[in-house]
Structure formats: C-alpha cells, structure tokens
Amino acid sequence: MMGCVVTHSFVCRNPELIGEYIRTYIIERYVSFVHKFLERLSILSPTPEKIMKFLNGLTRRGNCLVNLTINSDIIRHCALKYVDAKVLCLIFRTQSSSIKTDKFYQLDDQVLQDKLFSIIEENEIYKTIQEIGNFLYRVGVEEGNYEFVKRFLNSVIKRYNNIENCYKIQYIIDSMTGKGMRTDVVIPLIQFLHDNLIPFGSIKTIIALWEVIIALLYENANDNAPVMAIIEQS
C-alpha cells in the first residue's frame, strides 16, 4: 500500500522530493520497499525529466550516495542513463581508480569515457561542458588517476580539432584549470598544456598559465617570448 502511495506521488507531484524522502527516511530500514518502488517505476515508464529529478533528490544532487549501494545495480543503471551532467560527474568514477569507496559508483573506463563524450556531443554551452573539466580535475589532481585524464584529453583533441568544434577543447581546458587558477594541474599535464594551451585555451587561461609552464620546462624562461607576444602571433 505504501509503495502505491509513494509511486502515485512520484507521478503526480514532485519526484525530487520523493527521492529526498526515500533517501532520508526509508532507504536504511526498508530495503525491500526501495526495490519494489524502483520496479514500479520501470513499469510506469515516467518521463526522463521526472527520473532525473528523482535521482537528484535520492543522491542529494550527487553529493550523497550513503546507503545507496544496497540498490547499486538498479540506481547505477538509472543514473547512468538519466542524471544530468553535474550529478553524473559527482557520483561516477573509473574502474581504474585506486580509490575504493561507497561515495562513488565505479564504471569501466571506456563506458564512462563514452558517456562523458556523449554529454560533450549533445551540448554547446560552457556551463554543461564545464562539469567534464571539473570531473577531470577531481579525477586527476584529487584522486591521482592521470592516466585516464591524459587518455581522455588526447581523445578530446582528436575529436574536436576542427573549426566547428574547437571551442569545446577550450571549454575543457578552461574548466579543468579553473581558467588558470588551478596551477596544480600544470606539472602532471605539462606536455599537454604546452602543446595545446596556446592553440585552444582562452586568453585568460593562457595569461595565467603560460609563463608557469615555460618556467617549469626551461631553466632560463627569459629566453622565451613574453606571453602577450605569443598571443598576438597566434
């Protein structure tokens, strides 16, 4: 009976509040209820927007996966398919990550990379693609998985190195580096940034990072052209 009432509320009212309710009051004690509720949802076929809002509430917009591992297969499948870019980048990590925790769902590296690229393909605005750059920063600097980050960045260059799409490379570089404020990405990604910052980065990011890169690569940075001269030439 309770499952029917909550499912009806999901369909007719605010699915995000229903997600919050389940996370806060039910999921720890009534595991079987959560299973039944999710099964009912699959039968009702709610709109993708409603499922996205429900998952926002259930995961506290990507900031809380505590206790969700008890239904990890069902929720992981729904989240991979329906959550927005910000939530996806908060709750998923690569299988190759050395960090094992219940804070994230882990996915095969290629599956996650393909999903991230599908987000980039479907979006043109900085605010959305920015979430991918922030994800790369977290995975690299905070979690140390630079192998995945480097593979992903190399694929970004190969896919979008053309007139129509090169702005997406800029969005990734700018967001990953915090438009030059995150200097801790320079050393581990110095070759990538040396090769691609001038062609693709925004002027703000170039000004913030270029001299840092040159100082690290060359003992005598004074022998190199000033950053503004390089920008003018490019």
Q: Give residue-wise pLDDT tens across range 21-40.
A: 666 655 555 566 766 776 77
State the DSSP string of the chain.
Answer: -HHHHHHHHHHHS-HHHHHHHIIIIITTT-HHHHHHHHHHHHHH---HHHHHHHHHHHTTTTT--TTGGGGHHHHHHHHHHHS-HHHHHHHEEETT-S---TTSEEE-HHHHHHHHHHHHHH--SHHHHHHHHHHHHIIIIIT--HHHHHHHHHHHHHHH-STTTHHHHHHHHHHHTTTTT-GGGTTTTHHHHHHHHHHHS-HHHHHHHHHHHHHHH-S-GGGSPPHHHHHHH-
pLDDT in tens, 189-199: 999 999 999 99
For 31-52, what is the mean pLDDT? 72
Q: What is the pLDDT of residue 1?
A: 43
Q: Does residue 12 have a pLDDT over 80?
A: no
pTM of the full predicted structure?
0.80
For 179-189, what is the mean pLDDT? 95
81 against 17, higher pLDDT: 81
Q: What is the pLDDT of residue 25?
A: 56
Which residues, in sequence order, are CB contacts of 123 under 8 Å at separation 6+?
A: 85, 129
Q: Label residue 234 by pLDDT band (50, 70, 90).
A: low
Q: What is the pLDDT of residue 114?
A: 96
Domain boundaries, the chain: 1-83, 84-234
pLDDT in tens, 109-157: 999 999 999 999 999 999 999 999 999 999 999 899 999 999 999 999 9
> What angle in degrees, to the nearest 10, is found between the helix axes of 166-176 and 203-217?
70
Structure-token pair, residue 191: 């070759």
Q: What is the pLDDT of residue 2?
A: 44
